[in-house]
Amino acid sequence: MNTSVIRRARVARKLGITLILTGIVAILWLIAAFLNPVVPHLPSIETLAPLHRAPWMPNPSNILFTLASLALMWWGATIVGRQKEVFESAKRETEDRLRRVREYGTHYANEGRLEPYIGSPLTFDNDKEPS
């Protein structure tokens, strides 16, 4: 796993968490505006005038604000969920490297890998004919 991939995944995870928290704060602000008249309300949208007939909804723009906040939270959760595979892969790679160090001893502790892989230089000794 490349460190730049992990770094980008961390930044994306932080962005997703920020989006989730932004949506939660927006919804909590809207709830506080309903419960406490001191908190400023959203400006009214006159294009949704037929919705003003509903007595339970003093401001129809609150529904749009809530839906936008929920969409923002959903988008953030999607971003966070997509980064899970990157972190699991990096964790597996680290655990595998540490397992090899335990199995093969401290002689190869700096390398972390003993078995051959594609790209490793292979050295072969010359075979000697039996005499």
Please state, in angstroms and rounded to a whole number, the distance separating the CA atoms of residues 116 and 109: 16
Domain spans of the chain, in order of start: 3-82
**pLDDT tens-digit series, residues 33-64:** 777 766 666 555 555 555 555 555 566 677 78
pLDDT in tens, 73-117: 999 999 999 999 999 998 998 888 888 777 766 655 555 555 555
Cα 20 to Cα 39, 62, 69, 85, 94, distances in angstroms: 22, 19, 9, 20, 30
Q: How far apart are CA 88 and CA 36, in angstroms?
A: 45
Residue 90, SS3? helix
Rounded to whole angstroms, how far apart are CA atoms 48 and 65? Answer: 13
pLDDT for the residue numbered 33: 75
Residue 44 is predicted with a pLDDT of: 54
First to last CA, the chain: 50
Which residues in 93-126 are b (16+ Cβ under 10 Å) and which e? eeeeeeebbeeeeeeeeeeeeeeeeeeeeeeeee
